[in-house]
Chains A and B, each alone.
Chain A
């Protein structure tokens, strides 16, 4: 009986809190450049920090906003698996005003 009750109570609590968070996430939604997530996906995602940024996400943001142009800063990244896909992706997805994102190896 205790087991059943525990499951019901915790499940109910989880559902209520999860629903609340989902609503909050909708209300407090921040619009982000979807290219940042796409570039981050193509980085090695070790979050090693050897590029000098706080992590792969921070580096991806710097690349997309044009603050970082040298992909070689990413030490564990490989040319064929990481850098070339990023360059290709950014060539296909230019900025809103039509200008290309400047990146090189």
Chain B
């Protein structure tokens, strides 16, 4: 039971409290670039969830069972990028086959998931904090779902902003950045949500 609760708390805490985009400022590029339409934001979010969860599943055993016994931990970043780049290629092939329209809307942002620092951030963070496998998985799922939720919510707001009567100087990206800042402040309110719970 305890393991399950820790797992769920881990997911929720990395999803909402330490949200990648709003509190750690990872993955801002797709966050601003692909959030103009809800559909493409959803596609981007799902692709990132897929890449992050799979990357976590592969990178943790890779580090602990291959790099550590071989005493070449310094290669972790290089090995992770190799895994992530391959996964992104795989996702690209998959989307191209099953949803050509999504492939077109995502465009250059799809291969750029490779350099989305949220993906490398999760893998590297798991290593730096020496998390066990289950906590790493919780961190991966929570972080990526958090990214998905935030980019979809943000795209909904941006669709609404398109028709809003914003001052001319703020039209487009400036008002989007201000919106993101207000969202980040709102999420700060969740800080310390689990501080009273001891598992």
Which residues of A pack against B, CB within 8 Å? 2, 5-6, 9-10, 13-14, 17-18, 20-21, 24-25, 28-30, 54
Contacts and interface: CB of A to CB of B under 8 A. Distances in A.
Nearest to B100: A30
A9 B75 contact: yes
Contacts of B83: 13, 17
B87 to A, nearest CB: 9
Interface string B6-47: 000000000000000000000000000000000000000000
A25 B82 contact: no
B90 A10 contact: no
Nearest to B70: A5
Contacts of B107: 54
Contacts of B94: 28
A28 B82 contact: no
Interface of B: 62, 66-67, 70-72, 75, 78-79, 82-83, 86, 89-90, 93-94, 96-97, 100, 104, 107
Contacts of A28: 93-94, 96-97
Contact of A10 (B82, B86, B93, B96): B82
B97 A21 contact: no
A4 B82 CA distance: 18
Contacts of B67: 9
A18 B96 CA distance: 19
Nearest to B93: A28
Given A9-B72, A10-B82, 13 more contacts: A2-B71, A5-B72, A6-B75, A9-B70, A13-B79, A13-B82, A14-B82, A21-B86, A28-B93, A28-B96, A29-B97, A30-B96, A30-B100
Contacts of A20: 86, 90
A28 B79 CA distance: 25
Q: Is the interface of B mostly helix, strand, loop or mixed?
A: helix
Contacts of A6: 72, 75
Contact of A24 (B78, B93, B100, B104): B93
Contacts of B70: 5, 9
Given A10-B78, A13-B79, A25 B93 contact: yes
Contacts of A2: 71-72
Contacts of B72: 2, 5-6, 9
Residue among B66, B70, B71 with most chain A CB within 10 A = B70
A13 B70 CA distance: 14
Nearest to B58: A17
Given A14-B82, A54-B107, A21 B90 contact: yes
Nearest to B90: A24
B106 to A, nearest CB: 12
